[in-house]
Amino acid sequence: MDQADVVIIGAGAIGVCTAHYISKSTRRIVVVERGEVCVGCSYGNAGMLVPSHCVPLAEPKAVSQGFRWMFSPESPFYIKPRLDRELISWLWRFLRAANPRQVQAAMPLIRDLSLESLRLFEDLAGSFDFGLRCNGAVYLCRTESGFESLVRESLHLSEVGIQIEILTPDEIQALQPDVRFDVVGGVRYPQDGHLDPARFVTGLASRLIDDGVDIRTQTEVLGFEFTDDARLSVVRTTKGDILASEVVLAGGAWSPSLTEYLDLHLPIQPAKGYSVTVKKPEKAPGLPLMLTEARVGVNPMADTLRFAGTLELAGLDLTINPRRVQAILDAFPRYLPDLDPEVLDLVEVWRGLRPCTPDGLPFLGRSLSHPNLTVAAGHAMIGISLAPATGRIAADVVLGESSGFDLSLMKVDRFT
Ligand SMILES: Cc1cc2nc3c(=O)[nH]c(=O)nc-3n(C[C@H](O)[C@H](O)[C@H](O)COP(=O)(O)OP(=O)(O)OC[C@H]3O[C@@H](n4cnc5c(N)ncnc54)[C@H](O)[C@@H]3O)c2cc1C
């Protein structure tokens, strides 16, 4: 039987970053991936690095706005109506977590993880190119009410040390003189950045393979065998069993399906989002943008421009709903009137499943019930932003070292 010091399940941003930081100390690492490297949510997302998103998804505003949007198929947020016990219990937990006390506790943690990730991204960019730019992001508003709400939120962020610059339409225009905006104002977050997410994950995976890490694609983890003290001794896969000393679960939105074999409950709901990537038009924004009211992110990459958004709780369903793609296409000309979706050169329409926890914080740390299992999953809308810090912390947990972070809010067993 094959043997490994560490088996990592999932070769998305989180699994690959975890393998990277563990590989600095131990060589016998096997990453097991059901599809190809970066086939999941890490592939076509907006690629924005967002300390500006340090308010967790579960917050009071998300509840009030969510109720208005949730049954409209064109809105930025939609719940497919169905009787699903897991979904109902997730929504109930979400409502309970969406309170100011929980938000205040979570914000400094997400801020610190984001800023640590940016530092690690800059280190990694010294060894390979993945289009990293740390020149801020601009959130744009078309309506006075949207702008007021954005300014309130940015002032809240500035209280926890996130840098903000409130901008008039003229100041926005001056940042990008070539591009015409139809906005009433915006906020620039100078600490934000952006990258090409697929280039980052596949580039890092190639480097790991060169360094001798065993990445097994087209190999699905089916279950585990256990020792008497509930340690995971064997990882069972479609291509044979692997004897494992340590196991890391980084399976994104699919992580809960593997916990049916474990004494662990990971309430992660898949939240589908879409991106539309086009060839970069002549007059394209050079900075990442957030079209605030439409909840659409815009990421200028090397020779493409990507628009990404919408959040749809519809289970593990990967079908593309054309109405939701159309909602993205309809949104951006309202802010960028010279960009006409009809004449843009389409490269790809993509969908992915964000792994969302009910309290907006990932699961990160060791399981109490299974002492050699570490979980790194549930990063929702900020999994690229948090990937290097998550990988470094997961590596420290596996190697028994201190990460310097208080992991108590991200406890793996908090809903078990
Ligand atoms: C539209 C959209 C826009 C987004 N924009 C941003 C953004 O701008 N910034 C940001 O930070 N985040 C963004 N995100 C969120 C981000 O993409 C995710 O949080 C992140 O990619 C999650 O990474 P992951 O490694 O946990 O999951 P994934 O990338 O999904 O990786 C999990 C992997 O595990 C594998 N797997 C699962 N089960 C098994 C099994 N049993 N055996 C073997 N392999 C298995 C899967 O095949 C998959 O490859 C966005 C998401 C969407 C949908």
pLDDT tens-digit series, residues 313-345: 999 999 999 999 999 999 999 999 999 999 999
The whole-angstrom separation of Cα 241 and Cα 341 is 49
Ligand 1 atom 31 nearest Cα:
12
pLDDT in tens, 46-85: 999 999 999 988 877 776 666 666 666 666 677 887 888 9
CA atoms within 13 A on the CB side of 308: 29
For ligand 1, is residue 289 a contact (CB within 6 Å)? no
**Average pLDDT of 376-388?**
98
**12 Cβ closer than 6 Å to some ligand 1 atom:** yes
Where residue 365 falls among pLDDT bands split at 50, 70, 90? very high
Given the CA of residue 379, which atom of ligand 1 is nearest to it? 19
pLDDT tens per residue across span 146-197: 999 999 999 999 999 999 999 999 999 999 999 999 999 999 999 999 999 9
Task: Give the residue, by CA position, lying nearest to ligand 1 atom 9.
Answer: 48
Calculate the average pLDDT of the chain. 94
Ligand 1 contacts CB of residue 379 (under 6 A): yes
Q: Is 293 in the pocket of ligand 1 (CB under 6 A)?
A: no
- In the chain, the domains with their CATH numbers are 2-43+199-266+360-410 (3.50.50.60), 54-98+120-125+132-191+268-356 (3.30.9.10)
The ligand 1 atom nearest the CA atom of 10: 34
Q: Rounded to the nearest whole angstrom, what is the distance from the C-alpha of residue 26 to the centroid of ligand 1?
A: 25
47: left (phi over 0), alpha (psi -120 to 50) or beta: left
Angle at which helices 197-210 and 13-22 pack, to 10 degrees? 30
**CA 17–ligand 1 middle distance (angstroms):** 12
**Nearest CA, atom 15, ligand 1:** 381
Average pLDDT over residues 214-221: 98
Query: Is residue 231's pLDDT more than 90?
Result: yes
From atom 14 of ligand 1, which residue's Cα is the shortest distance away? 381
Question: Quick one: pLDDT at residue 58?
Answer: 80
pLDDT digits (tens, 9 = 90+) for 254-275: 999 999 889 999 999 999 999 9
C-alpha 138/C-alpha 179 separation (Å) is 13
pLDDT of residue 185: 98
Q: Candidates 42, 121, 291: which one to mutate for ligand 1, based on the most atoms within 8 Å of Cβ?
A: 42
Ligand 1 pocket mutation, candidates 254, 268, 301, 318, criterion most atoms within 8 A of CB: 254
